[in-house]
Amino acid sequence: MKKTNIAVLVSGGGTNLQALIDAEKNGIIEHGTIRLVVSNNSGAYALTRAENSGIKTEIITRKLCGSDEAVEKNIIRVLEENDIDLIVLAGFMRILSGEFTKRYDRRIINIHPSLIPSFCGEGFYGLRVHEAALKKGVKVSGATVHFVNEIPDGGEIIMQKAVEVREDDTPETLQRRIMEQAEWQILPAAVEKISKIMAEEA
Ligand code: GRF
């Protein structure tokens, strides 16, 4: 069976990318293979993680391309060149256009660090998500993997995991616990689930 070819889009540290790389190495992801890492930030440590594992990288920044449209055009070009089936957004700090998400309908997935539909949508990224959760006083938060459509964090939910919120949490401690206990587990699990479906359909 042909494996699902995966591209991971990143902007930052890449701990979720690392979780995916490790999951492919130890067989948790068996129906997919990470063929490409694309970053819109030339300084992203995620690029080093990819290089350390021998994964091809592409840097596509607004500065290099000149406009948002040109960024997407170049992303599409490298996805096509590398025969990519599935796009995984793992800390990719950029909202993709409706045109882009329609082109790759049900072929883009994202990890969001809360239980959607709480604390999501435009403006909810990074520590802001956890600040909002603590401000509201929720006792559980967590992470969600979902398909990406034209509505930010609005696509169909694939997997979720809840994480306890502690009395003494700061946005930083909550962020870390959600990564360790939820994101790094459900992202590889969801990628395997979708890769398997896509590989069987191909
Ligand atoms: C994660 O919290 C993820 O949920 C969010 O951005 C962060 C990326 O972290 N979308 P990393 O680059 O994977 O370490």
Instruction: Please give the model's pTM, rounded to 2 decimal places.
Output: 0.97
Instruction: Tell me, rounded to whole angstroms, the distance of Cα 68 from its chain centroid.
Output: 19
The verdict on the CB of residue 90 being under 6 Å from ligand 1 is yes
Find, among 136, 121, 116, 86, the residue nearest to 178 by Cα: 116
Q: What does the pLDDT look like over 22-78, one tens digit per residue?
A: 999 999 999 999 999 999 999 999 999 999 999 999 999 999 999 999 999 999 999
Residue 144's pLDDT band (cuts 50, 70, 90): very high
Q: Which of 31, 112, 130, 146 is catalytic?
A: 112
pLDDT confidence of residue 94 = 86
Give the Cα separation of 79 and 76 in Å (integer). Answer: 5
Find, among 70, 57, 61, the residue nearest to 40 by Cα: 61
Angle at 191 between CA 118 and CA 196, to 5 degrees: 135
> Any idea what DSSP says for residue 143?
E
Is the pLDDT score of 95 beyond 90? no
Question: How many angstroms does the Cα of residue 1 sit away from the middle of ligand 1?
Answer: 31
Concerning whether 31 is annotated as a catalytic residue, the answer is: no
% of the chain at pLDDT higher than 70: 100
